[in-house]
Structure 1
Amino acid sequence: MNDPVNFDIPKSRTILRPRRLALLGTVAALGVAVLVSAPGSSPFHAASLIAPAQAAETAATPSGFADLVSKVKPAVISVRVKIDQDNDKNAMLQQDRMQSDEDSPFDQFSRQFGFRLPNGMPNGMNGMPRQRHQMVTGEGSGFFISADGYAVTNNHVVDHAESVQVTTDDGTIYTAKVVGTDPKTDLALIKVEGKKDFPFVKFSDQKPRIGDWVVAVGNPFGLGGTVTAGIVSASGRDIGNGPYDDFIQIDAPINKGNSGGPAFDMNGNVIGVNTAIFSPSGGSVGIGFDIPAATAKLVVAQLKDKGAVTRGWLGVQVQPVTSDIADSLGLKEARGAIVDNPQDGSPAAKAGIEAGDVITAVNGTAVKDSRDLARTIGTMAPGSSVKLDVWHKGESKTVPLALGEVPNERQAKATTDGKVQPDAGTPRLGLSLAPAGEVKGAGQKGVVVTEVDPQGPAAQRGIQTGDVILNVGGKAVANVGDVRSELMQAKSSGKRSVLLQVKSADATRFVAVPLA
């Protein structure tokens, strides 16, 4: 059988030749330095004036990564899996997506690095109909974290795998079993039995700085044992993968097959797990994303102990606090997470958290936005006692509570689009309203939007016919008079916007509407 070919390679195949790289930060090692000194002075004295600067620059720039690579490379493995696509609809859907020539750049985040088809040809590219019961072969990377064979990789590398094989740096092939997976962070723990002396690496205890050197080792395109280098480009990246996104961005080239491989600092510690790339072309363009070591350590520890991950649960639907929302609530800064709706029976509801409250801190640590809140709570164990700083009806208070456990894998939902959407009501907003009780199917609470002027401010905020306004400025409304009264109150108080709680279908949210 011919070697398999990546089936998401474009039909018009291009071989990329290496580009010549410029060496940065070297100290004129290839040139000739000429010292000019004043009459009677010593040239050695002139040289001593620049030597410290040269020495500092040389020390700051590694002469090479060979020593580091020889230390860590034996702990990195290639991971090969087989998936019966006839029994796995997800694999089939992934295959169809990768065959598309119309994928957007965001589809190229490579959630399934390196999947291949048998017979050496991409399915759908050789003119033959898809056969049933084909085995999809996937390739990724991983690394040992203990001498007894525990190794880390990505969930999407081993997800739904019927068999898992790993190849070590010396070419030895072992069978591995999946200990546990966590789709929410895209991490998986696998175990190779039979030996107690595998080379392994450790997670870093320090968060990398932007600009630090980073070395990635992995199995791109099935080549195995490939080393690339670059720097940490950014941190705290949210790529829309899930509520716990907190990726490290690196520019060390990673490609399909690097998934699950480690990124090292200069001490040989793992700072992140290579997980995704942004690539309009499908290959590396210098934008890769790593799961931080701090996250990986917490997840892997739970996978090893329990085979699964449990997370703390507040039971709130939240959204970011925009400047308009902050102004309408009297907050000095647009920070924190505003509660759209506490879920019935949740820890938040039991503790008295209400819709319209803004959670500004957890255990004294400021909350930046709704996603930051989700990440913070998600790192805590169910049953943990926490103290929330809450902005409640113009006053700050502290709310103690015990976190629950995420029921049925449901997670605290964080709205992250950053844009305030549907809204209603201020004078001359271009809305017609009616009590909810007078409109069939609208319920008994609030006022229903019966008509929207498409050129009005409310329409620009996304208000639609059928939306229900539940409260205005923190007070429940039952008729048009209530709405008008609260709007006038907000305006007379000098506020530039008023906060509305709006219900659409089964979801509620808060929107700040400018007061014209």
Structure 2
Amino acid sequence: MSRLLKRVNWAGITLLMLFSTLVNAANLPDFTELVEETSPAVVNISTEQTTTSSNRQLSPDAQELNEFFRHFFGQQPFGQQQQQPRQQQRQRSSLGSGFIISHDGYVLTNNHVIDGADVIHVRLNDRREYEATLVGTDARTDLALLKIEAEDLPIVTMADSDDLKAGQWVLAIGSPFGFDYTVTAGIVSAIGRNLPSDNYVPFIQSDVAINPGNSGGPLFNLDGEVVGINSQIYTRSGGFMGVSFAIPSNVAMSVVEQLKADGKVSRAWLGVLIQDVNRDLAESFDLDRPHGALVSRVMPDSPAEKAGLKAGDIIMAFNGKTIEHSSELPYLVGQLKVGTDAKAQVFRDGKERTMTIALAKRPDDAEVAQQKADENRLGMTVAPVSEQQADRLGIEGGVIVEQIMGGAAARNGLQQGDVITMLNGQVIEGVDAFNRIAQTLPSNRSVPMRVIRDGYPMFIPFKIVE
């Protein structure tokens, strides 16, 4: 009798487990219809580029790995030589994905897929192939708009990416490693991700398997709408590791409108250098918790300077949107049109105030870089030392190293967080004094710099090599 009861119990457990498995399987999405409906609007993109290279021929495996590193890391580990032998011209192809957004042939993809291409080929799901014209690119968002001469083409439907939430199912279609129309699926891991090298894109993070060749392809929701454009992966192994990033569809379509109209993107500019507010800074500024964007520097003749923003101000909200992390501010500013009067909620001297800022056109990167170089020859950005920090260190004035950009600062061993109190025998009263003294430093000769690091003061020799 006992054995019979045990058998009955095991049979019941087995049936229960089988029933649970069937229920869970029934709840999983079926992507077959979605794939059939959307695949015709997904395209394969290949390019031809005339490049100069050495006579030494690489193996096919090395060439493929070179292409992988070039697209995803900006590196090329194989084929580098210290001494360049005789040069020759050769053709190189890259491979990526894209999708059709209009019946008359506009195609959206990543900028890095077509960057430097002489010829761009677009191949459709039905094997029709067209040579595409480049309408325009935007390197900051890694987007490119192409045009092929065709009519009545199948198109994707663009979703409102602001409605996307973590945990939702998403699906990607692309050509990883050249395997056309490969389908992978997963969930949204997070939204609004800001990467160090991309201040203008609040990325969608997912665990959808993305590999070289998926770049520029669409990320769909369960309604078959494009919520993002697959752009980057995070990897330590060189392959997919469960962390993929896509450009939100709303960001992409905003860029598309400008590329169609002008072939380029113009962004509004505030003209400040900012940093995150950590716990210690929040305490030093008497904030209840860490949030906002701390202004470490105001660029000369910028919209911020004209509006009265100062170093040490904390921007708590911009145009009605609360700022939790400083990385959110560049995107909010960049989304606005040049000439817009924006409202900034600013925390200064323990009080909040609202300031109106007339946004201007962002200068070219070369102009910004030159301006930084002219104002600061030392290869770093600095911020004012707060009163609380000064009291703790027992100093008056000084500047804190905010960012090391290279050059003299890197060569002389300065570190982020160092507090500089003297330079070339002159006391540093603040950021303006620091920049003024930096302009007068001699080249190719060491000068004394007093630095406080981890609470300990010391002098270091500082030399600008020009």
Shorter-chain TM-score above 0.5: yes
The bucket for the TM-score relative to the shorter chain is 0.7 to 0.9
- Which secondary structure state, in structure 2, belongs to the residue aligned with residue 291 of structure 1? strand
CA deviation string 1:238-283 (max 9, x = no partner): 3322212421112221111111001111111011111111222322
Contact 1:109 1:276 in 2 (8 A): no
- The yes-or-no answer on 1:470 pairing with 2:429 is yes
Matches within 5 A, 1:238-249: 238-249=194-205
Contact 1:422–1:462 (Cα < 8 Å) also in 2: no
Query: Which has the greater radius of gyration?
Result: 1
**Shift in Å, 1:362:** 1.1
CA-CA distance at 1:144 after TM superposition: 0.2
Structure 2: which 5+ residue stretches go unaligned?
Answer: 1-12, 54-60, 372-381, 400-412, 440-451, 456-466
2:72 is aligned to 110
Question: Is 1:330 aligned to 2:286, yes or no?
Answer: yes
* 1:134 and 2:90 correspond: yes
Of structures 1 and 2, the one with the larger relative CO (CA 8 A, separation 6+) is 1
Matched to 2:321, the amino acid is: T
Summarize the Cα distance change of 1:391–1:263 in structure 2 as closer, same or farther, 3 Å threshold. same
Partner of 1:199: 154
Over 3 Å counting, the alpha-carbon distance change for 1:149 and 1:315 in structure 2 is same
Q: Which residue of 2 aligns with 1:5?
A: none
Report 1:418-433 matches (<5 A): 426=390, 429=393
SS in 2 for 1:190: strand
Aligned to 1:450: none
Contact 2:95 2:113 in 1 (8 A): yes
Which residue of 1 is the match for residue 217 of structure 2? 261
Q: 1:97 to 1:373 in 2, by over 3 A?
A: farther
Shift of 1:109: 7.9
Partners of 2:121 and 2:130 within 8 A in 1: yes
Deviations 1:32-73 (A, max 9, x none): 7379xxxxxxxxxxxxxx99x987x566421x2110000000
Q: Is the 8 A contact 1:339 1:356 kept in 2?
A: yes
The aligned amino acid for 1:219 is S
1:226-247 Cα distance to aligned partner (Å, 9 max, x none): 1111111222223322212421
Are 2:296 and 2:383, in contact at CA under 8 Å, matched by a contact in 1? no
SS at match of 1:197: coil
Deviation at 1:434, TM superposition (A): 10
How far apart are 1:391 and its partner, in Å?
Answer: 1.0
Overall identity of the aligned pairs, in %: 39
1:314 match: 270
2:103–2:151 CA contact under 8 A, matched in 1: yes
Cα RMSD over matched residues?
4.2
Instruction: Say which SS state the counterpart of residue 224 (structure 1) adopts.
Output: coil
Question: Quick one: which of 15, 27, 41 aligns to 1:75?
Answer: 41
Instruction: Please give the alpha-carbon distance, in whole angstroms, between the structure 2 residues aligned to 1:504 and 1:360.
Output: 32
Counterpart position of 2:15: 33
Q: 1:34 to 1:133 in 2, by over 3 A?
A: closer
Deviation at 1:150, TM superposition (A): 0.3
SS of the aligned residue for 2:158 comes to coil
Query: For the residues of structure 1 that align with 2:95 and 2:175, how far apart are their CA atoms?
Result: 8
* Mapped pair 1:66 → 2:32: yes
Name the SS of the counterpart of 2:253 in structure 1.
Answer: helix
User: 2 CA distance for matches of 1:353 and 1:306?
Assistant: 32
Deviates more, 1:404-413 or 1:136-145: 404-413
Question: Is residue 239 of structure 2 the alignment partner of residue 291 of structure 1?
Answer: no
Partner of 1:299, secondary structure, is helix
SS of the equivalent of 2:177 reads: helix
Q: Which runs of 5+ in 1 are unaligned?
A: 1-30, 36-49, 88-94, 116-121, 414-419, 437-453, 479-500
Query: 1:192-234 CA deviation, whole Å, 9 max, x = no partner?
Result: 01x2211010221143221211111011112211111111122
Q: Secondary structure at the match of 1:77?
A: strand
TM-score with structure 1 length normalisation? 0.66
Q: Give the 3 Å change call, closer, same or farther, for CA 229–131 of structure 1 in structure 2.
A: farther
Match of 2:338 among 379, 382, 388: 382
Q: Deviations over 1:9-32 (max 9, x none)?
A: xxxxxxxxxxxxxxxxxxxxxx97
Aligned to 1:407: 363
